[in-house]
Amino acid sequence: MKYLVAALVFFLSLAAAACVLLLLSAACDRGHSRDVDVPLGWDGATNADAVRKWSRESVESVPRWKIEEAPLVERVPHAVEAALTGREQRYPSDATFLLDGRIVLYYYVSDYSEPDSILLRILDPGSGEETRVPAPKGDDGRSLEWVHFDLVTRDGRIILMGDNQPALSRRQGEDIWWADGDGRFIGPPSSTHMEGILLGVFRDQSLAVMGHSVVMDTMLLSPASVVYPVKAGHDPADARAEEVLVTTAMPRDPAGASRSAPSWIPRPAFTSGMSGDTIWLMPTEKPELYAVDRSGNIVLKVEWEAGDRSIPPGAPDFWEGADRFPAAVSLMVGADGLIYIETVAVLEGRPARDAEWLVFSPAGELMARLDVGGRFPSFDVLAFGDGALVATVWDEDTSLTHVEVYRFRKSGQGSR
């Protein structure tokens, strides 16, 4: 799931590193409003057209939203199928809300699955009706892999991006599959040679992609770029060149043996999202939120006080090299356009996943603190709608994972 970051490690070739460095250089030549060679949030400067700051008192005084005690909908269809077929239970790895309130659930499907394996389930929380969408096959009728895909929606359409070519014919790049709001796939997939995490789709159908990390001497660079896919049958290398909007980074020890960042580093790819044509990012461990528009301008920076997050003496070796505990572990943009940030609590000198999400408006207004209850560690939010959320919940008694939809009532408005 997008916010589970502990096991994420990136391995890249020197060729990929050189490619991204060329992209960064090209973006500088285009005259963007900031120098993309300086990772966002690393230079200590504001670098934003507008800034909003929220004190600790303001954070504590905003309205508290709470989810209802009982779920509106509860589903374990994948568990039932597993029991009937004798296969292991499959899990939804991503979800998103459509504008009409329906929920799209994406289930990873490996090439060992049955030919009619269900890729998507479109759930109507109001009626309880569910549409099952089988995984499309390749042009030659063969089953494709659907294990590592990102799911977003735009203007009522469903978009999936990932590499599902058979292992023996795997190539660099990603496939982009489009479907309508009922899960009907629209033609063969388009493709791009750039690999990364799909944040969203711009109005002109170009993609916002957080590129995989490039290993540098003291950091790992990840560019957030505009990507132009090519239609099926065309060489992805012939696509229009990507445009780097902003660069994020994670520190690394140049003397260390690992080519990845320390495990405690917050991954910007998991604290990024998109609403309309605006990308929202928390690029560092600080309580700072940035809004980047289609041209690469930093149009807004939001800061808030999150208390003392210093690493105390005697902390486990796991935190060696860190200056402070991260302020957040996940960022999601809801179908209502609000930005939901899963905060990290510091309890007795140790960080812990919190049951609280800060909610911001696109204008940087602190709207609320959303309490999802004391369901951790078995409760994981997949997506936010308008006054609703969908989550996976692990049942200790049955060892099965449920999909649950909860409502929450919005009330009040934040104040400075």
DSSP string computed for 295-324: TS-EEEEEEE-----BPPTT--GGGTT-SB
The tokens for 192 are 């791009």
Radius of gyration (C-alpha) of the chain in whole angstroms: 21
Question: How many C-alpha atoms does 394 have within 13 Å on its Cβ side?
Answer: 10
The edge-to-edge listing of strands for the beta sheet with 118-123 is 92-97, 103-107, 118-123, 130-134
Kindly give, in sequence order, each residue whose CB lies less than 8 Å from that of residue 147, ignoring residues fewer than 6 positions away.
Answer: 108, 109, 110, 162, 164
Q: Which residues of the chain have pLDDT under 50?
A: 1-36, 79-80, 83-84, 168, 414-416
Cα 359 to Cα 341: distance, rounded to the nearest angstrom: 6
Question: According to the model, what pLDDT value does residue 115 have?
Answer: 52
**pLDDT of amino acid 313:** 84
Bridge pairing between strands 278-281 and 272-275: antiparallel
Q: Is 140 exposed, middle or buried (0-12, 13-18, 19+ CB in 10 A)?
A: exposed
The pLDDT value given to residue 414: 46
C-alpha–C-alpha distance, residues 382 and 207, integer Å: 21
The contacts of residue 357 (CB under 8 Å, 6+ apart) are: 340, 341, 342, 343, 369, 370, 372, 381
